[in-house]
Amino acid sequence: MTIADDKKAVKDHHTRWAEEIRKRNALYSEESNWFPFVQNIEDVLERVNIMSQRFDDLENKIGETQGMIKNLRKILIKLEVIDDRFIF
């Protein structure tokens, strides 16, 4: 599977999710039937939770990458491959 296929699958998943929300909104026509509305709110909150987890994962990857770059810089300076005067 390529990156484009992954992006298309994510987009299709979001489209199906949004269509399901719209269908439930159509069912929410009565004043006494609050279940579709409550279900929609729960689905949206679940989706927000998933996005929050993805942001945390990306933040961790960024932190790991920054740590590896700092470590590589120290190693290259010790091996005298680069001079630390020219690196900020």
Amino acid at 30: E
Percent of the chain with pLDDT over 90: 26
At residue 27, the 3 state secondary structure works out as: helix
- Average pLDDT rounded to a whole number, residues 28-44: 77
The tokens describing 26, both together, are 């159509």
Which pLDDT does position 13 carry in this prediction? Answer: 74
- Average pLDDT rounded to a whole number, residues 67-79: 90
Closest to 23 in 3D by CA, of 10, 42, 46, 40? 40
How far is CA 49 from each of CA 43, 44, 55, 88, rounded to the nearest angstrom? 10, 9, 10, 38
Can you give the C-alpha Rg of the chain in angstroms?
A: 24
Least confident of 6-10, 22-26, 61-65: 6-10
Q: Is the pLDDT of residue 78 over 60?
A: yes
**Confidence tier at 8 by pLDDT (50, 70, 90):** low
Q: Is the pLDDT of residue 1 over 60?
A: no
Cβ–Cβ < 8 Å for 34, 45: no
